[in-house]
Amino acid sequence: MNGNNIHGDLIATRDGTKTCDLYLAAFFTTAGCSIKETSRDARKVYFLFENTELIEKLKIDYFTRNAKVDALTYADNVKSLKSLCASIMNNEIKRGG
């Protein structure tokens, strides 16, 4: 994968910040960031977020364990993103990909 690896599965690209970390993606969405697009490779689904000042702050808060979001909303977003990942993976399998 092209891009600069920032931390683990968090990748900076010219189009935004990309991650295959479902929990980080759920955190970003819970904190008010929108997913620009999704993509996948053979094993993972990637979530792309626009690079903003908020994303930069959220990355720091998340990895320094200082993040604060509503727990129930976060749990709901984790479930929603798991369903989205399953749907994306199943659609590729049905199309023969």
35 strand-pairing partners: 49
User: How many angstroms separate the CA atoms of 39 and 52, rounded?
Assistant: 20
Contact assessment for residue 41 and residue 21, using Cβ atoms and an 8 Å cutoff: no
- The whole-chain average pLDDT of the chain stands at 88
Task: Report the pLDDT value the prediction gives residue 42, as an integer from 0 to 100.
Answer: 87
pLDDT at 93: 56
Give me the pLDDT at residue 7, please: 57
Give alpha helix (H) positions in 7-95: 22-30, 53-63, 71-94
- Residue 9: per-residue pLDDT: 78
Cβ contact 58:31 at 8 Å: yes
DSSP structural state of residue 14? T
Residue 36 has φ and ψ, to the nearest 5°, of -75, -45
CA distances from 41 to 20, 45, 89 (A): 10, 7, 9
